[in-house]
């Protein structure tokens, strides 16, 4: 997705999804129990899509719609975390001349996060893991969406002297997700311990499902 904008600046706002799959003994035990009870094995799968809405012709100096959410396309409930990376690249893809997104502690590209994502709010659906990742505070059921995490991106006026280096640069914004299959079936033995061990092994943090069966708390 590559778009030319005013004064030859370009925005490259990509999304990249990375899925972490987990297979552990307790999970296989659960599948074995299903086989004994029904004589039929249905393999579960994990597949999270990064869904976005982005205009074809964004304009410099205005809010550019960039709506991002994560949708569980798989057959299993999952624990989810996400991270993002941003940078500017001047002089073309082969020059390797990278620019920070900040000039004098001012963001050149301002990400307008959805209010449900703000980790500083108690009502946020996400919490910062202080490890470069943001952890979803709910079990993401099959077919469900996290809701929007990002609404739009705003850009500084490139006519200003301090932003001259960004006039002909490309802006890159990447999102990455990782998931762990959640054991939430009624037939799962020791499912709390299974989930905690699984998330701790893959994420390095322990995901604990609360009594409502939806809310997840995260601990080191």
Average pLDDT for 122-134: 92
Determine the Cα–Cα distance for residues 70 and 64; give it in Å rounded to an integer. 20
What pLDDT digit, counting tens, does each position of 89-121 carry?
887 666 668 899 999 899 998 999 999 998 777
Q: What is the DSSP string of 75-139?
A: SS-EEEEEEEEEEEEES-TTT-EEE-SEETTEESEEEEE-TTT-TTSTT-SEEE-SSS-EEESB-
Determine the Cα–Cα distance for residues 47 and 64; give it in Å rounded to an integer. 28
- Longest C-alpha distance within the chain, in Å? 71
- pTM for the model stands at 0.77
CA 5 vs CA 59, 136, 172, 185, 197: distances in Å: 6, 34, 14, 50, 48
Helix, strand, coil in percent for the chain, rounding step 5: 15, 40, 45
Burial class (CB in 10 A: 0-12, 13-18, 19+), 139: buried
Determine the Cα–Cα distance for residues 22 and 204; give it in Å rounded to an integer. 13
Question: Angle formed by the axes of helices 25-38 and 191-203, to 10°?
Answer: 140
Average pLDDT for 23-45: 33
Coil, helix or strand for 97?
strand
What pLDDT digit, counting tens, does each position of 52-103 carry?
887 766 655 567 888 999 999 988 899 999 999 998 888 766 666 889 999 9
Determine the Cα–Cα distance for residues 177 and 52; give it in Å rounded to an integer. 14
Which DSSP helix (H) or strand (E) runs through 11?
A: strand 10-13
Tokens of 106: 């001012």
Determine the Cα–Cα distance for residues 11 and 57; give it in Å rounded to an integer. 10
Exposure of 146 in the CB half-sphere (CA atoms within 13 A): 33
Lowest mean pLDDT among 4-13, 114-123, 198-207: 4-13
What pLDDT digit, counting tens, does each position of 162-202 carry?
888 888 888 888 899 999 999 877 666 788 899 999 999 99
Residue matched to tokens 């690249």: 89
Determine the Cα–Cα distance for residues 190 and 119; give it in Å rounded to an integer. 31
């Amino acid at each position: 997705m590559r778009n030319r904008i005013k004064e030859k600046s370009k925005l490259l706002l990509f999304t990249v999804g990375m899925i972490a799959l987990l297979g552990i003994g307790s999970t296989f035990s659960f599948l074995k129990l299903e086989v004994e009870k029904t004589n039929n094995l249905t393999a579960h799968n994990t597949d999270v899509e990064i869904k976005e809405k982005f205009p074809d012709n964004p304009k410099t100096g205005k809010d550019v719609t960039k709506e991002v959410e994560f949708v569980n396309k798989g057959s299993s409930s999952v624990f989810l975390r996400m991270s993002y990376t941003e940078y500017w690249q001047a002089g073309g893809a082969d020059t390797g001349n990278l620019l920070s997104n900040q000039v004098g502690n001012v963001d050149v590209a301002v990400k307008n996060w959805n209010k449900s994502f703000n980790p500083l709010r108690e009502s946020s659906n996400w919490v910062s893991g202080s490890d470069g990742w943001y952890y979803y505070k709910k079990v993401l059921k099959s077919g469900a969406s996290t809701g929007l995490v990002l609404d739009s991106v705003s850009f500084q006026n490139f006519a200003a002297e301090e932003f001259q280096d960004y006039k002909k640069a490309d802006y890159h914004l990447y999102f990455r997700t990782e998931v762990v299959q959640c054991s939430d079936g009624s037939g799962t033995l020791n499912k709390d311990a299974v989930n905690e061990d699984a998330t701790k092994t893959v994420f390095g943090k322990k995901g604990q499902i609360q009594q409502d069966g939806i809310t997840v708390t995260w601990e080191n």
